[in-house]
Structure 1
């Protein structure tokens, strides 16, 4: 199969990625076209030994990074139209690339490393750096709903390492609702099975009936949420979890939250 046919299915997604990097669809498309024209002139430049999608993104980033303006930390062109784009604008270039590849394009850490042509550890560090930079922009108050003290402490530490403030740790439905009444959070991290037999899901639903706040579920029972019977959560982490996964989910939830950039009242 020709390179053209192999990469064709992935071009719409590359356009999305290029648009996020450059700030406008017109600018992103111009970079994609330039890459394709260069590839037509020199097909042998396409990376070998990689899946077509990974190779496509690698050659695009190689071209993107060859333009000094794109690696100098200059604000992304015309990227102030919504909060998520303003958050993206403030990220330094390499962490921005890694963050978008991981959270928007859905590549694994190993795939991000292959695209950026760096070791997996460096790719992880770049994504974590993006998380730190996002936290500096949208540092917020976080409510943790978790009945296991050790797990709650681990989550609290991760939240604080990202620069956020923990307003409280609730072990029951009642405690969660009371904490929200006393201090409105900007993010909720919730288990679904709590100490007194109450439901974290019910607690979250009650909280969402009074305030609009992003929620990340961290649970050993994901099947209870992934039923298809009702709107499923955008952010769901399965126990046992990796700290990097929790930190990435926190950064992603705040990055795309429409209120991002305002500290919770």
Structure 2
């Protein structure tokens, strides 16, 4: 099996991580493309001593780490306006603690694997994750709307949201109900299932909501590969069903991290 064939199944999930890391589908997918270009340009440098997924993420992490200082150094040196832009971008960079949290809680890597990926010790990874969790506890509380037609899943999501200290504005089970609820009580975050009770789409519901006002959105789906192709406008934050509580917690905190750090982009 060729290296490309070995890496192909892992690309959708690398896109998920990259989007969560950057807070942007466009920027995240650009980093994934850069990773693939680097592998194609120098396949002999690809880590062969580890599992292909680990090697893929390790290559991505190297490109991510090397690109940040250069980008901000150049921008901040060119004037007040560019320095302001650089500072705004700097606010969007997920610190190492959040990288460790995303790698373990969202991507499912072990502490040892995450240590390999970010070139740290397992003890350092555990401390970084603990630091990220402490930051989450200090995060500004928000008001969350849930779009989910399965009662048990909706109850679980509601409990997770409340455990994080956020309020729940309500639970909608159809597209029309979701739009009406959002207009009635504007949320600061939306958790949206893809397939809803009346065969309507959570994606369409979110599009309707975003046409009225900007709000960060986390989609929940049993088929993440369908929304991680990199071929069209797709979600920035995505949770896979069945989900772990830690995954939902990490996704919520990351979506709000970017919402607090920057002015939300206009809906596409």
Query: Which residue of 102, 117, 120 corresponds with 2:121?
Result: 117
Rg larger in 1 or in 2? 1
Partner of 1:100: 99
Query: Which residue of 83, 88, 96 corresponds with 1:82?
Result: 88
Q: Is residue 97–residue 131 contact of structure 2 (8 Å, CA) maintained in 1?
A: no
Structure 2 counterparts to residues 206-245 of structure 1, below 5 A: 206-226=208-228, 230-245=232-247
Partners of 2:130 and 2:191 lie apart in 1 by 19
Q: What SS class does the counterpart of residue 143 from structure 1 fall into? A: strand
Structure 2 counterparts to residues 110-149 of structure 1, below 5 A: 110=111, 111-114=113-116, 115-118=119-122, 123=126, 126-127=128-129, 129-134=131-136, 136-149=138-151
Change (3 A) 1:228 1:16: closer
Matched residues, number: 194
Asked if residue 255 in structure 1 is aligned to residue 254 in structure 2, the reply is no
Q: Is residue 91–residue 261 contact of structure 2 (8 Å, CA) maintained in 1?
A: no
Query: Which residue of 170, 173, 196 corresponds with 1:171?
Result: 173
RMSD: 3.9
Q: What SS class does the counterpart of residue 169 from structure 1 fall into? A: strand
Q: Is residue 195–residue 201 contact of structure 2 (8 Å, CA) maintained in 1?
A: yes
Partner of 2:163: 161
Partners of 2:109 and 2:190 lie apart in 1 by 25
User: Deviation at 1:228?
Assistant: 5.1
Partners of 2:242 and 2:149 lie apart in 1 by 15
Change (3 A) 1:243 1:260: farther
Structure 1: any 5+ residue segments left out of the alignment? 27-77, 89-95
Q: Is residue 84–residue 256 contact of structure 1 (8 Å, CA) maintained in 2?
A: no
Partners of 1:127 and 1:252 lie apart in 2 by 13
Q: Is residue 139–residue 163 contact of structure 1 (8 Å, CA) maintained in 2?
A: yes
Larger RCO: Structure 1 or Structure 2 (Cα < 8 Å, ≥ 6 residues apart)? 2
Q: Is residue 146–residue 171 contact of structure 2 (8 Å, CA) maintained in 1?
A: yes
Q: Is residue 235–residue 249 contact of structure 1 (8 Å, CA) maintained in 2?
A: yes
User: Deviation at 1:254?
Assistant: 1.4
TM-score by length of 1: 0.59
Partner of 1:15: 66
Q: What SS class does the counterpart of residue 138 from structure 1 fall into? A: coil
